[in-house]
Amino acid sequence: MSDARKPIAVIAFGGNALLRPQDHGTQEEQFTLAWKATRWLAEIIHRGYELVIVHGNGPQVGNIMIQVEEAITKIPPQTLDVCVAQTEGSI
């Protein structure tokens, strides 16, 4: 077996890739975009790369923060770190 390592591809996935400006931001839209992206991720692996996936979640956190602000008189607000963790888990 060869000691040669596979090249590594670092892919930033999430954030604006899952929530584009023209989208409404529904879960269905984001799931559809994620599903479409899996084809490209699989192709990168097929070409012999090891894959490292990192993500951004700015638009998703922004949407949750709007929900927090709108509900602030009804329920205790969530902190930013909790909102970030929530979106990381969903992505």
Condensed to tens digits (0 to 9), the pLDDT of residues 8-58 reads 999 888 777 788 889 888 889 988 988 988 899 999 999 999 999 887 788
Residues paired with residue 8 on neighbouring β-strands, in sequence order = 50
- How many residues comprise the chain? 91
Q: Is the pTM of this model over 0.85?
A: no
Does the CA dihedral 24-31-50-47 come out positive or negative? Answer: negative
Query: The tokens of 68 are what?
Result: 């927090």
